[in-house]
Amino acid sequence: MTKFEALGLQESLLNAVADMGFETPSEVQEKAIPILLEDETDLVALAQTGTGKTAAFGFPLIQKIDSESRTTQGLILSPTRELCLQITNELKLYSKYEKSINVVAIYGGASITEQARQIKRGAQIVVATPGRMKDMISRGLVNITKIDYCILDEADEMLNMGFFEDIKDILSNTPDEKSTWLFSATMPREVSVIAKKFMHSPKEITVGDKNSGATTVQHEYYVVGGRDRYPALKRLADTNPDIFSVVFCRTKRDTQRVAEKLIEDGYNAGALHGDLSQNQRDLVMNSFRKKQIQMLVATDVAARGIDVDDITHVINYQLPDEIETYTHRSGRTGRAGKSGISMVIVTRSEMRKIKAIENKIKQKFISKKIPTGMEICEIQLYHLANKIKDTEIHEEVENFLPAINDVFQGIDREDLIKKIVSVEFTRFYDYYNKKRDLNTVDSGDRGERRGDRGGNAPTSGSVRYFVNVGEKDGYDWMSLKDFIRDTVGLGKEDVFKVDVKDSFSFFNTDADATEKILSTFTDFKVDGRFVNVEVSKNPGGGGGRGRRDRSRSGGGRKDRDRRSSSGKGRDRNDSGKRRSKRSSGSGSSFSGNRRNKRKSDFF
Ligand code: ADP
Ligand code: MG
């Protein structure tokens, strides 16, 4: 008897298991499958990503479904379109020897009528993203009032992405007597709230360490020259306008110096180290908690007591001497089930240390490039545009409007937008315009295509795009790559250099795919939101520098002077108290006609 047989799976499923090449059940499968087959019970299962959770609920679900009936009996909620499709495909493989089990995926960004049609044909199992599911329920396109099983997959991720209300709504449409199976990598408070609220004395299984947040932290390194640490740090901050971070230095002196420089350059920074009085340290920590300080520069010893949950980035300005210390540093982010990024600025000679850390933490680092000046400009512009869009209008503004309108008289909307965003763009552009690439030669070029770096020819066969979705929308580089490839219908290697930021991303394709890409993403919506793809102004994709448009740099010096003088003057004294000088940037792409015309004239 194989180990899978011992779990109680029926013949047809065992055949499918064999076809899939699964030999031994994973731990979560071994624990969950017998429970789910034997009892009608609620279950909370905690296991890290990649431990085979899909099969742990998939096999029991299929075995329990009545395939004679067309009624929808099982609902699986999952955070992203990619996961929905993945689960659906897996379930189809598991059920290949069942007579007539239909599994239908429901997710945003694809035709709702087509999905409704598939449901109507009879789907015993529905795999859905919460947003689209809610939509379909409210339109009466799906009926989940008779389900026996509801599975919340990647529950922590769904809650992270803000689906709590949607899930609540969806569950209110399901019968009380169903069984609910919750699968999650971590158990943050929000997940236990769901478990308490919607489940009846669930059984609990845990694989590995319950509170281990290891996989929620992504580790990245950036190779630069020894003297470029500070400019590299600035670029990392400029690439992440909403950064909330701890920057680790090795000595008290470096800590103080880096913090001072950041403050001088207009960032919301503060220093935390042992030479400060207790009172000073309390002040700094209070400002940090209130997010008045976005970049807390600290020594390892001083940072020990930091108990702040939402830290987005840990930046290793220098690597620590002890490998063990790295674990403590990176553990400051990715807490409470949130994801985080630990960035390391290294020189080539320190690369050995990266390997040693990888062995220690049993996780791979991703080799990243310090963004080029133009990438930063683009990011900042987009951030500014979003900020303008989300700004609440102050009612007092009304009183001044007549006079303001006089000033803007005769300027049309498009020009006005261009002018508004140029206020910031010019500042960043002038600052970064003449700055060189900080990446050391042949550093981290893994996977890079030859020809992309062609000095004067900005595109040389490869086109870089900007897309307005990112981590916030649940993408990482792999899933975004898949999404673009699948949506446009491209081949396996056609999308490359995918770089996912918080709320937007970049990627490359060969030039001959550009038309297809742009036409696919015209008026294209996912979960009710427009997904917009533009040709990026920065064709190299993190690597190349190219031509500059001289006519654009007129007036540059004046603005740069203004930037530095204001940085050194007003901002210096009241470090943590005021918002940063660098607010943000403006969009690359406000009018469609700029798309191609401007593609190459910045560089
Ligand atoms: P999780 O949901 O926990 O992140 P998945 O269910 O997506 O993990 O499974 C990860 C990968 O492992 C999939 O490719 C799956 O086919 C494979 N897998 C699952 N169970 C087994 C098993 N018992 N033996 C071998 N491979 C498995
Ligand atoms: Mg999974």
User: What string of DSSP letters covers 549-564?
Assistant: -GGGGTTHHHHHHHHH
> Counting ligands in written order, which one lies closest to the CA of residue 156?
2
Our answer on whether the CB atom of 49 is closer than 6 Å to any ligand 1 atom is yes
pLDDT at site 43: 96
The pair of structure tokens assigned to 151 is: 């599975």
Our answer on whether the CB atom of 52 is closer than 6 Å to any ligand 1 atom is yes
Enumerate domains of the chain plus CATH numbers: 5-206 (3.40.50.300), 217-369+589-601 (3.40.50.300)
From ligand 2's centre to the CA of 484, what distance in Å? 21
Amino acid at 135: D
From ligand 2's centre to the CA of 193, what distance in Å? 21
pLDDT at site 288: 93
| 290-342: pLDDT as tens digits | 999 999 999 988 887 676 778 899 999 999 988 878 887 888 887 655 678 99
Residue whose CA lies nearest to ligand 1 atom number 1: 50
- The closest-lying atom of ligand 1 relative to the alpha carbon of residue 153 is 2
- The closest-lying atom of ligand 1 relative to the alpha carbon of residue 22 is 24
pLDDT at site 471: 86
pLDDT at site 1: 58
> Counting ligands in written order, which one lies closest to the CA of residue 79?
2
Q: Please state, in angstroms and as integers, the Cα–Cα distance from residue 493 to each residue in 29, 314, 447, 474, 507, following that order.
A: 33, 32, 11, 22, 12
Our answer on whether the CB atom of 22 is closer than 6 Å to any ligand 1 atom is yes
Our answer on whether the CB atom of 78 is closer than 6 Å to any ligand 1 atom is no
From ligand 2's centre to the CA of 207, what distance in Å? 14
Please tell me the distance from the alpha carbon of residue 181 to that of residue 179, in angstroms, as a whole number: 7
From ligand 1's centre to the CA of 56, what distance in Å? 9
State the greatest distance between any 2 C-alpha atoms of the chain, in Å, as a whole number.
85
From ligand 2's centre to the CA of 154, what distance in Å? 6
Nearest-CA neighbor of 318 among 362, 353, 288?
A: 353
From ligand 2's centre to the CA of 346, what distance in Å? 34
- The closest-lying atom of ligand 1 relative to the alpha carbon of residue 55 is 6
Residue whose CB lies within 8 A of the most ligand 1 atoms, among 26, 27, 61, 82, for a mutation test: 26
pLDDT at site 447: 34
Nearest-CA neighbor of 466 among 494, 434, 423, 503?
A: 503
| 543-578: pLDDT as tens digits | 333 323 333 333 333 333 333 333 333 333 333 333
Residues 6+ apart with CB under 8 A from 402: none
Place of tokens 């009879």: 122
Phi and psi angles of residue 74, each rounded to the nearest 5 degrees, phi first: -130, 135
Residue whose CA lies nearest to ligand 1 atom number 12: 52
User: Who surrounds ion ligand 2 at CB < 5 A?
Assistant: 53
Our answer on whether the CB atom of 569 is closer than 6 Å to any ligand 1 atom is no
pLDDT at site 215: 56
pLDDT at site 448: 33
Our answer on whether the CB atom of 51 is closer than 6 Å to any ligand 1 atom is yes
Nearest-CA neighbor of 32 among 24, 42, 22?
A: 42
pLDDT at site 572: 31
Residue ranges in the chain whose pLDDT is less than 70: 1-2, 49, 160-161, 208-215, 305, 307, 335-338, 441-460, 538-603
Residue 68: exposure state from Cβ atoms within 10 A (0-12, 13-18, ≥19) = exposed
Residue whose CA lies nearest to ligand 1 atom number 23: 25
Residue whose CB lies within 8 A of the most ligand 1 atoms, among 20, 48, 92, for a mutation test: 20
Our answer on whether the CB atom of 53 is closer than 6 Å to any ligand 1 atom is yes
Residue whose CA lies nearest to ligand 1 atom number 15: 52
CB–CB of 323/356 below 8 Å? yes
From ligand 1's centre to the CA of 43, what distance in Å? 19
From ligand 1's centre to the CA of 221, what distance in Å? 29
Our answer on whether the CB atom of 273 is closer than 6 Å to any ligand 1 atom is no
Residue 439 is classified by DSSP as B
Residue whose CA lies nearest to ligand 1 atom number 13: 52
Our answer on whether the CB atom of 55 is closer than 6 Å to any ligand 1 atom is yes
The pair of structure tokens assigned to 516 is: 């297809």
From ligand 1's centre to the CA of 186, what distance in Å? 18
pLDDT at site 152: 97
Please tell me the distance from the alpha carbon of residue 548 to that of residue 235, in angstroms, as a whole number: 20
From ligand 2's centre to the CA of 51, what distance in Å? 8
Amino acid at 167: I
From ligand 1's centre to the CA of 171, what distance in Å? 27
> Counting ligands in written order, which one lies closest to the CA of residue 84?
2
From ligand 2's centre to the CA of 47, what distance in Å? 9
Determine the distance from the C-alpha atom of residue 234 to the mean position of all C-alpha atoms in its chain, rounded to a whole number: 21
Residue whose CA lies nearest to ligand 1 atom number 5: 52
**Taking the model in full, what pTM does it have?**
0.46
Residue whose CA lies nearest to ligand 1 atom number 16: 52
